[in-house]
Amino acid sequence: MSTAFYTHADCQRHEMGDWHPECPARLQAIDDQLIASRIDMVLERVDAPMIDEGELARVHLPAYIDELRHRRPEHGYVDLDSDTRLNPFTWQAALRAAGAAVAATDAVLAGEYDNAFCSVRPPGHHAEPDRAMGFCFFNNVALAARHALDVHGLSRVAIVDFDVHHGNGTEMAFANEPRVLMCGLFQHPFYPFSGDPPLGANMANTPLPARTDGAQMRDIASRTWLPRLDAFAPELVLISAGFDAHIEDDMGNLALREADYAWLTARIMAIAARHANGRIVSCLEGGYNLSALGRSVVAHLRELAQV
């Protein structure tokens, strides 16, 4: 299969302080593991473009977009909340991250690639229409979904989110939107303390208690949201690919391993093959233990690229 790998050096220029877990080293750790595993040789590397700023308004309020644009500092940082801050390069990095998701969607729907992975930061699934939070500024996957609906005219777009944290911003963007099914899993109760109960009937949320391991996750997913995803028959599957549910990641308390991410990816791919001509766009969300992150992304990409 042909798998595109979208990234850009601008995504490493955004940083929020030496202490911050959402750091530029995350993307370097992924690149290092791609080289070590030799999977980089089968990926089609693509420079992530910046999103057209007008597209941001498909998900985010104009006043919020203007706030981020005008509050970016010339030096140092501007705090938006206790763990989300702007540096001089955040705006450009955020435009690249969102642009990767939209460009990958265009390319996959055009048949240029079978699927794509966006190795970008900042992440996006906590970003709400009117505020940044949880390390996120623009909601990359939500923007890609809205682009697929509004520009390409798709009727059924699925979003699968398997980050340890619930994708509250994505849920808020699409609650009760019949053309979108959002499903997946997350630890609960846990930041951002949302998702249970869901905001709309089109949300197939699967909260998991702390210490859930891979065998338990597979059983729960097989009984809950995977059948619903299959029944929805999506024309495109977007993935918010967070790898912080890994047992080695201190940002959460779940106990998944690389093989569990491979299993999830394989199940999603089988559903996409039945209904969406295999079309998948996956975007990096969380994952903060650098070694576990790199290994987990390799497992995810091995399935996407079928190598």
Q: Report yes or no on whether pTM surpasses 0.95.
A: yes
**Nearest-CA neighbor of 237 among 189, 205, 271?**
271
**Residue 282 C-beta-side C-alpha neighbours within 13 Å:** 29
pLDDT at 29: 98
Give residue limits of the domains in the chain. Answer: 3-305
pLDDT at 279: 98
Task: Please compute Rg for the chain using Cα positions.
Answer: 17
Q: Spell out the alpha helix ranges (H) of the chain.
A: 25-37, 62-71, 90-109, 140-150, 168-174, 214-223, 225-232, 258-275, 290-305
81: helix, coil or strand?
strand
Whole-angstrom Cα distance, residue 285 to residue 109? Answer: 22
Whole-angstrom Cα distance, residue 235 to residue 238? Answer: 10
Examine the pLDDT at 1 and tell me if it is beyond 90: no
Angle between helices 290-305 and 258-275 (to 10 degrees): 30
pLDDT at 278: 98
Q: Does an H or E element contain 184, and which?
A: strand 180-187
Catalytic: which of 126, 147, 188, 246?
A: 126
Judge whether 75 counts as a catalytic residue. no
Q: Report the C-alpha dihedral over residues 221, 222, 227, 229, rounded to 10 degrees.
A: 40
Whole-angstrom Cα distance, residue 23 to residue 34? Answer: 18
Examine the pLDDT at 109 and tell me if it is beyond 80: yes
pLDDT at 85: 98
For tokens 């979904």, the residue is 145
pLDDT at 26: 98
205-221 pLDDT, tens digit per residue, is 999 999 999 999 999 99
Length of the chain: 307
Mean pLDDT of 100-109: 98
Q: pLDDT band for position 77 (50/70/90)?
A: very high
29-63 pLDDT, tens digit per residue, is 999 999 999 999 999 999 999 999 999 999 999 99
The CATH label, of 3.40.800.20, 3.40.50.10860, 1.10.1040.20, 2.40.50.1020, for the domain at 3-305 is 3.40.800.20
Whole-angstrom Cα distance, residue 264 to residue 260? Answer: 6
83-92 pLDDT, tens digit per residue, is 999 999 999 9
DSSP letter for each residue of 239-292: EEE--TTBTT-TT---BB-HHHHHHHHHHHHHHHHHHSTT-EEEEE----SHHH
Q: pLDDT band for position 262 (50/70/90)?
A: very high
